Structure 1
């Protein structure tokens, strides 16, 4: 049967399915995220990880640590917490981004972890942001993050899906922030509460990746569990520009640099981008009746 974009991504990352089994909204599934990001709360997750008797990461390349919340706190206690997290990252072979390197969600997008068509989680409510690149990003709590470290997987109930149709083009001076605030204001009766959103319509092509990331990020404030944009020419162009920048800059000095082939970035490289361009994950056109929201960008 036809599937939504959310269902297709969940299908690809689901574990232990029966032969021929197709996943649907409402299903509880065991799922293996491509990545799980934690930030300053990594210390708390470490405690939960040890409390369940775990001593090593199931998939060392899966966790990402990015310190970004309390970076101006130079107290002895905070500096010790940061040092403990860094030492733990080195012990486990985890990609670690220290304080001052950037906001964790931005790192996930700009370093190629939040890849279009993948399933990525973070122990933070704004992991919806990854949907701006066509990645199904959704939050997990700290206990779940610890369990993912230990087992490589978690359970997830596939949310109901709502389609958000965007038409027209933003007027000069308006941005993605205006779009999502308008949507939150116009549809404020829990229409999309605990839903996964799929953005569609002709207006999407006129939105930059920066706008899309902003809109996806703030679907959290709208009450949604995820907000995913389609992969299109805008997405591919942004990825190529980002890959070119990373090639000029050089690798990020993290353990996954060892996965680079012939010096090419292991995630942001032309081979991977070309494969995505030729075969992006898309919702089936006849995926069924979904709850819908329509907004004209001209009116924002």
Structure 2
């Protein structure tokens, strides 16, 4: 039996675990490509210091993006934001101050999330990253602190549910309409704590904005992952992001990398085993 996408990506990021093809339920240590924290960075920092750690394992791995309480100009909140900024500067971590945008959008639009990667955040809507053919999943603050300190964390691979979309969206219908309909048609218990893999001919009518919305709101459906395959829509969006980033002097996405994903896109095995379809 082949592997689902979440099993494949977990395998590619594993540092410790079963020395065989991974399956749902396996417990392993993984090294995520990136970890994003937002206003809760200060809470993660307290746990990080509680571990006795002084330096992050890999300063390129964390990303700090302040986006939750940015209208709060109280002295207390501004002091918290300054503490986060100072720690980022001390450690050499990428920092996005209040007003830069929503953290998950920053991660996708600024090239931190790439196809086939495992990217986590200390936020329940980390599923968003699945729109870019990555595995995005949330971690608790204790795990976030462990990633800062060691570069990795322990994770149990969730079961995968395949969601096959047919047809095409009519004019005026949005990605949010799709995910709200799915939440209404199928009981939350059917996908609770599962990884969702979207597939089918219906994907062709979904823009990247629609996919980002659907992936984001798989959290409301109860899932831990909402993955979309790499296709022409993903390719066009990534290439546009690459050109915009390069114009700003940011080389996080490269033409060679995009060509590699085009020639060998991440995809589940044809005989992958699913918990449900």
Q: TM-score range by the shorter chain?
A: over 0.9
Distance 1:272 1:192, change over 3 A: same
* CA deviation after TM superposition for structure 1 residue 271, in Å: 1.3
Residue 25 of structure 2 corresponds to which residue in structure 1?
Answer: 26
Give yes or no for contact 2:162–2:274 (8 Å, CA) kept in 1.
Answer: no
C-alpha distance in structure 2 between counterparts of 1:97 and 1:175, whole Å: 29
| Pairing 1:133–2:98 present | no
Runs of 4+ deviating beyond 6 Å:
none
Residue 247 of structure 1 corresponds to which residue in structure 2?
Answer: 246
Give yes or no for contact 2:17–2:27 (8 Å, CA) kept in 1.
Answer: no
Q: 2:266 aligns with which of 281, 284, 288?
A: 281
Give yes or no for contact 2:188–2:222 (8 Å, CA) kept in 1.
Answer: no
C-alpha distance in structure 2 between counterparts of 1:80 and 1:174, whole Å: 43
Unpaired runs of 5+ residues, structure 1, are 252-264, 293-300
C-alpha distance in structure 1 between counterparts of 2:188 and 2:55, whole Å: 45
| Pairing 1:268–2:268 present | no
Q: 1:143-292 counterparts in 2 under 5 A? A: 143-251=142-250, 265=251, 267-292=252-277
* CA deviation after TM superposition for structure 1 residue 65, in Å: 0.3
Find the residue that maps to 1:137 and give its secondary structure: strand
1:135-166 Cα offsets, whole Å, 9 max, x none, are 10000011110010001000100001000000
Residue 120 of structure 1 corresponds to which residue in structure 2?
Answer: 119
Residue 255 of structure 1 corresponds to which residue in structure 2?
Answer: none
Find the residue that maps to 1:22 and give its secondary structure: coil
Give the root-mean-square deviation of aligned CA atoms: 1.1
Find the residue that maps to 2:218 and give its secondary structure: coil
1:120-143 Cα offsets, whole Å, 9 max, x none, are 100000000000111100000111
Residue 2 of structure 1 corresponds to which residue in structure 2?
Answer: 2
C-alpha distance in structure 2 between counterparts of 1:179 and 1:188, whole Å: 15
Find the residue that maps to 1:30 and give its secondary structure: strand
Unpaired runs of 5+ residues, structure 2, are none
Find the residue that maps to 2:202 and give its secondary structure: helix
Distance 1:157 1:75, change over 3 A: same
C-alpha distance in structure 1 between counterparts of 2:91 and 2:274, whole Å: 46
| Pairing 1:65–2:50 present | no
Distance 1:189 1:122, change over 3 A: closer
Q: How many residues align?
A: 277
TM-score by length of 1: 0.90
C-alpha distance in structure 1 between counterparts of 2:168 and 2:244, whole Å: 28
TM-score by length of 2: 0.98
